């Protein structure tokens, strides 16, 4: 998997999987995986993690 070294900002979410690429809200690719199933799984996990982080921020 190839990745970018930049940190994701809140306005980059939700990320999407398109084929083997994971992309930010603006369509910029942030990672490429070996197959589309992996990309979809990672995008879902990234989005779930960010949703939990946002929820924790507002509940504190």
The yes-or-no verdict on residue 5 having pLDDT over 90 is no
Quote the percentage of the chain above a pLDDT of 90. Answer: 82
CA–CA dist 42, 40 (Å, integer)? 6
First to last CA, the chain: 35
Confidence of residue 6 (pLDDT cuts 50, 70, 90): confident
Residue 24 belongs to domain spanning: 2-59
* pLDDT score for 23: 97
Segment 27-56, tens digit of pLDDT: 999 999 999 999 999 999 999 999 999 999
Q: How many domains does the chain have?
A: 1
3-state helix vs strand vs coil in the chain, percent to 5: 45, 20, 35
pTM for this model (two decimals) = 0.84
């Amino acid at each position: 998997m190839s990745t970018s070294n930049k940190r994701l900002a809140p306005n980059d979410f939700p990320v999407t999987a398109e084929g083997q690429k994971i992309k930010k809200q603006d369509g910029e690719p942030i990672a490429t995986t070996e197959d589309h199933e992996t990309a979809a799984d990672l995008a879902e996990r990234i989005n779930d993690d960010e949703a939990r982080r946002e929820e924790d921020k507002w509940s504190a």
